[in-house]
Structure 1
Amino acid sequence: MKKSSFIVPPGVPMISGPQVIIMGDKVTLTCSVNSGKPDPSVRWLRDNTVIDETYSIVGGITTNNYTFTASANEQFAVFECQSENGLLQNPLSRTIFVEVYKTPRSPVLTGPTEIISGTPTSWTCTSDGGYPVQKLSMRVGNSAFSTELDTKTAFDRNTQTYTVTGTLSWAPTTANNGQTLYCDVTHPETIGPNNPQTVSLPLTVKSPLDVDAPQTQFNPTTGETISLTCIITSGTATQVRWYKNNKLVIMAANLRLSGGNANTPSLTITQVQLTDAGSYICEATDGSATRNTTTITVSPKGRINSILFYVHDMV
């Protein structure tokens, strides 16, 4: 007796493989189908274009493994697996949607490293090339900023990546001198939850420059020596100059003058003369700020020679 023949449609395709992948990873998408009668073909398509028609049949299971290296081209791609053995009018199919996660590039931190204490200052940290969106934070030492940090996020449709920019507005004090400003970018999807990308800048915070003249009136007698005191009460002066009646004092032009510089701010006048009378100002600068003392007035007096009178008694 002759055995009857029969045909059976294939099973619905089953897809295995990662839906979320990381840029540069080698990825394999596997499509498996319970074989029918006759054995079905299994193929992969993308955008209605066949990309792989190779398959194998083992133990009644037809399998097609499609392998590729993840690139930007696979971002948001839809891969379709089809199986058919000629029994059904249309092939059976199943799809998988793929996201490509991208590690952001190393952040860039810009801004000054030398600051005057109490001066409002801005720093900018930029992180780009990430997907999904990365998180950016800034800190000094281990103290994180909150309200001082403004972050903005932009999505580039061409590269399918995010750019995050953080702008820090902060006025350091001398307590922050020698500390380090950090920008941390976290992206747990690609570099793990405890492995931030970190860049930093060292901070040098200087005291604000200030000067003082403790004595503002001098009434010397000609021939005496006086010192017009100028004290740098805070900060560090890189240059000190003196003015007399709003004109710069040229130290080298008068050998009776000494001091009046960053190392010795006070101005010493030896052998005071009547021509030394006037209004003096000490000016100090640290390269970014300039400070002046109040006006110092010098009013020399002429020396009175004593005349000795001999009185002779007249007999």
Structure 2
Amino acid sequence: MPRIFDAEGREVKLNASAGPFLEGHELFLSCEVNGGRPRPMLTWWYNDSILDSVVDSSRDSHTSVNQLLITAVPRHLKGARLECRTSSSENAGDIVREVPITVFLKPNKVKIVTPNDLLSISKSQTVRCETSGSYPPAKLIWVLDGKPIRNAVVTVEETTSFTGSILTLNVHAEDDGKVLVCRADNPRFPGGSAQDSRRIHVAYPPKVAVSMDSSNMSPVREGSDVILRCETRARPTAHSYYWYHNSHLLPYNESAGTLPSNDVLTLKNIKQTFAGQYACSARNSEGETYSSPFDLTVQFAPRCKKGFEEIRIGIIPHETIVAQCLVDSVPPVNRFSWTYNTSKGVLPVQGAKIQSKGNASVLHFDLREGDVESLACWATNDMGKQEKPCIFHIVPAEPPEPPRSCIIRNMTGGGFLEVSCIAGKDGGLHQSFVLEVTDLSVSAPSGIITTLSDQGENASPAFRVLGERPLFRLPNLKANKQYQMIVYAENARGRSVPPVVLPSVPISKQGSDSLQEDDNETDLNDKNIPNSPLPESKSPTSLSLTLIIAGLSVTAVLLIVVIIAVSTVIACRKNAPKSTTIRKRRRPSSKPPSELELSEAGFGEGFHRRSALYRASMYGECEERISRLIEGPDLILAPVSFSQQSSDY
């Protein structure tokens, strides 16, 4: 029986297959037989066709050998059975040794069969790839932009010669134009792979950004033209564009100089109002995208800040005028100059104290000439000089006008009263506002007269509130009392006349240390108060004579009960342990302690002198003045010594 050996010299046993051999690579098998007379013939056969009939051994050798060599194994030999036949004579017949061979095949077909449609980033896509001809079956690997796709959902179908793979693909805008590859690899066939590839196209919403045309890269000046472009990258191409200025849609307005046209915005004859943030949006089938804001800065020469174009300054004899000039400009101001106007003409301000910082300038001016009519402030920056100066008209100082349209509100959320008014004219000087609160339930002893004696008031104020604005909050009113309030303005020339008298306010809930929060119980609604004093014929505390007589007896009885109760409470407090903590309500105040040293009649001595200096100093300190305007009113408490019941104040 012939024996079969492979290229490594290993014998192929009976009923075993030879190989594996690789498609396209060589196949080597050796068939050997020993002895035989006459010398036997050895031949290789396949499908009854002779492959090799040459004996490769010498005549003197005892062993006959036939070596079969196929330089490139064809695909059809997969599963084939080769035969080695030997015979010693024609009459003896052939001895046949059959050898099955194993051939590994590389994939001969790979195809991405899904149509190459536009892929959307808003939903998952499935792509199918098929391969055949590989033995053992090939493994399909997906590659995007040269990198294997990992953590993707892949469904595989596999038979002995066919493999299918369905890839669930989530694409991003950055994947547009990348190459997607489906590669088939035979794991038993080194280098036995094949692949199919395609360039994918991704649909995504526009990516937009605003840029300025290269011809406008220099600083933008008033009066120039500017072109902004909405740079867009999108698939499919964007078909709708919108422009926005400071978050407001910008329509086409030729008269205003705003000309949006698709992805281009033209701004004609630019003004300072054109400055701000510009943005664009673009839309396609995948959605709409808004750009980040583009800051457009418009440079312009200085101009007076709104509300500071013309200002009246009241003069007080022998006092220095303080004028504050505020301007708007881009870039900031380089220099300020001041002039004053007299009957002799316009003259430059010389030798005066001028403090300039940024876009503000403060002038301290002594009136050496009596006919100064006005002051003018001029500012200059890199764009040029101010065209129209800021004017300060010099007028005699007057007391301020009374506040008007005062309103009382019960602030239910915070448990306090709020009084707000509209300020009148300041008389040419800085003004402040005062709210006086009088406890009507306490009778003032004879000889104590309020500061509003011209109105016939008999009760001394329980406390006063001073503020830079006519807005006052009263969180410390007592329950079961009735209060009267008046409001007036004050500057260095005096008080507003007449003061505004508000209706009496009852605080009704028993046992509460603060204002009742329930509007129904306090019966307090918003009230518009006319700007007029209380008529002289009537007083807020006046009652009919009949009611006073009828109530005297009841009051006497109640007074006795109250005195006994108060005495008992005081005695108990004296006997209380020393460790008892007494909590005192803090009164908010933004003034130094010296401002709180008040006389029994209300404000301390020298109040008018100090307030005049205080107000004059505020003209020279712009930032401090603004901060005080923003702050709430200062609460100034005036102790009242004439009544035991009001000692809590």
The bucket for the TM-score relative to the shorter chain is 0.5 to 0.7
For the pair 1:16 / 2:5, whether they are aligned, the reply is yes
The answer as to whether partners of 2:41 and 2:87 remain within 8 angstroms in 1 is yes
The answer as to whether partners of 2:240 and 2:262 remain within 8 angstroms in 1 is yes
The answer as to whether partners of 1:15 and 1:31 remain within 8 angstroms in 2 is yes
| CA apart distance, 1:32 | 0.6
1:138 to 1:99, Cα distance in 2 relative to 1, 3 A:
same
- Relative contact order: is structure 1 or structure 2 higher (C-alpha 8 Å, sep ≥ 6)? 1
Q: Which amino acid aligns with 1:187?
A: N
Name 1:132's counterpart in structure 2.
Answer: 136
Offset from partner CA, 1:134-176 (integer Å, 9 cap, x none): 1112255455245x21223356xxxxxx343322122234686
Name 1:41's counterpart in structure 2.
Answer: 41
Q: Distance in 1 between matches of 2:92 and 2:43?
A: 17
Task: Give the superposed CA RMSD.
Answer: 4.5
| CA apart distance, 1:26 | 3.1
1:72 to 1:185, Cα distance in 2 relative to 1, 3 A:
closer
1:86-101 mapped onto 2 (5 Å cutoff): 86=89, 91-101=94-104
1:35-74 mapped onto 2 (5 Å cutoff): 35-58=35-58, 59-68=61-70, 69-74=72-77
Offset from partner CA, 1:8-29 (integer Å, 9 cap, x none): xxxx211123522222223232
Q: Distance in 2 between matches of 1:47 and 1:130?
A: 24
Q: Distance in 2 between matches of 1:79 and 1:28?
A: 12
1:102 to 1:261, Cα distance in 2 relative to 1, 3 A:
same
1:299-314 mapped onto 2 (5 Å cutoff): none
Which SS does the other structure have where 2:38 is aligned?
A: coil
1:200 to 1:46, Cα distance in 2 relative to 1, 3 A:
closer
1:131 to 1:118, Cα distance in 2 relative to 1, 3 A:
same
Q: Distance in 2 between matches of 1:29 and 1:259?
A: 83
Which SS does the other structure have where 2:158 is aligned?
A: strand
Q: Which amino acid aligns with 1:83?
A: T
Q: Distance in 2 between matches of 1:205 and 1:172?
A: 7
Q: Which amino acid aligns with 2:260?
A: G
TM-score (norm 1): 0.54
Q: Distance in 2 between matches of 1:16 and 1:65?
A: 9
For the pair 1:122 / 2:126, whether they are aligned, the reply is yes
1:241-260 mapped onto 2 (5 Å cutoff): 258-259=259-260
The answer as to whether partners of 2:57 and 2:66 remain within 8 angstroms in 1 is no
Q: Percent identity?
A: 17
1:200 to 1:144, Cα distance in 2 relative to 1, 3 A:
farther
Which SS does the other structure have where 1:137 is aligned?
A: strand
For the pair 1:165 / 2:172, whether they are aligned, the reply is no
Structure (1 or 2) with the greater helix fraction: 2
Gap runs ≥5 in structure 1? 1-11, 156-161, 211-230, 243-250, 265-282, 293-315
1:49 to 1:150, Cα distance in 2 relative to 1, 3 A:
same
1:71 to 1:196, Cα distance in 2 relative to 1, 3 A:
closer
| CA apart distance, 1:74 | 2.0
The answer as to whether partners of 2:205 and 2:288 remain within 8 angstroms in 1 is no
| CA apart distance, 1:60 | 0.6
Q: Distance in 2 between matches of 1:87 and 1:114?
A: 73
1:77 to 1:199, Cα distance in 2 relative to 1, 3 A:
closer
1:175-190 mapped onto 2 (5 Å cutoff): 181-190=180-189
Which SS does the other structure have where 2:189 is aligned?
A: helix
The answer as to whether partners of 2:121 and 2:202 remain within 8 angstroms in 1 is yes
The answer as to whether partners of 1:33 and 1:62 remain within 8 angstroms in 2 is yes
Q: Distance in 1 between matches of 2:239 and 2:28?
A: 70
Offset from partner CA, 1:290-312 (integer Å, 9 cap, x none): 669xxxxxxxxxxxxxxxxxxxx
Which SS does the other structure have where 2:44 is aligned?
A: strand
Which SS does the other structure have where 2:54 is aligned?
A: coil
Q: Which amino acid aligns with 1:102?
A: L
Q: Which amino acid aligns with 1:165?
A: G
Name 2:626's counterpart in structure 1.
Answer: none
Q: Distance in 2 between matches of 1:127 and 1:136?
A: 8
Between structure 1 and structure 2, the one with the greater Rg is 2
| CA apart distance, 1:34 | 0.9
Q: Distance in 2 between matches of 1:50 and 1:107?
A: 35
Name 1:83's counterpart in structure 2.
Answer: 86
Q: Distance in 2 between matches of 1:235 and 1:72?
A: 49
Q: Distance in 1 between matches of 2:116 and 2:56?
A: 63
Which SS does the other structure have where 1:188 is aligned?
A: coil
1:151 to 1:45, Cα distance in 2 relative to 1, 3 A:
same
The answer as to whether partners of 1:120 and 1:171 remain within 8 angstroms in 2 is yes
Decide which of 145, 150, 154 is 1:144's aligned counterpart.
Answer: 150
TM-score (norm 2): 0.29
The answer as to whether partners of 1:183 and 1:199 remain within 8 angstroms in 2 is yes
Offset from partner CA, 1:252-292 (integer Å, 9 cap, x none): 9x96683252445xxxxxxxxxxxxxxxxxx9642x44669
The answer as to whether partners of 2:142 and 2:148 remain within 8 angstroms in 1 is no
1:90 to 1:174, Cα distance in 2 relative to 1, 3 A:
same
1:180 to 1:75, Cα distance in 2 relative to 1, 3 A:
closer
